[in-house]
Structure 1
Amino acid sequence: MIDTVGSNTLVNACASTKYRGAVAACGLAGGMDFPATVAPFILRGITLYGVDSVIAPIELRKEAWERLAKELDKTKLETITTEIQITDALKISNEILDGKVRGRVVVQI
């Protein structure tokens, strides 16, 4: 699972991850706190990975983008993508922070 929000949304991602699953955290729009316990990590063997998108070397970034271009099934990406208008951004942002949105949201500008 990939979480781009942090805070309570990251907690929910960890809580809903299957046994021995992994969560990649790559954003903090919802906050830097982590209001949870260690229970998912101990009882179900969950792993939390932090994704560095700020100071990662350019070589690593290029490799990541190349792998995404080759390995990502674009039809699956389309099934988890919702497009919205900029006028709906505030509404959807609240839903994201409340953990009610799955997949990705693309804002048409």
Structure 2
Amino acid sequence: MKNNILPLGTVVTLKNGDSSELMIIARASVVEQKGEQVYYDYGAVLIPQGMMQPEAVYFFNEENVEKIVFEGYENNDEKIFSQNYHEMVAQSKVPKGNISSSDSVDTEEAGFE
């Protein structure tokens, strides 16, 4: 995987997932996990469903990406954001979240199959 964060609109599959495709809609999202504020590199929604409800956003990190199916739009602002992303999150006081294999995307559990 490349060093820069992936652009919005990028479609990926996840390691240990069920091969569902997810489209990235958020980056560096701060969420509560086990009573603690943490950030994840990416927030994404299932394709083709999209965000049917706010709880249907899946959070994961760049190390969880198995495959890039489609890379999203990249203008100059995106390039600058991408180049500065790792420095930006390193300066944050919010720790990085971690997903386990039990947290992987399960479209059946989400009611989509």
**TM-score calculated relative to the size of structure 2:** 0.28
Indicate the structure with greater helix content.
Answer: 1
Structure having the higher Rg = 1
**TM-score calculated relative to the size of structure 1:** 0.29
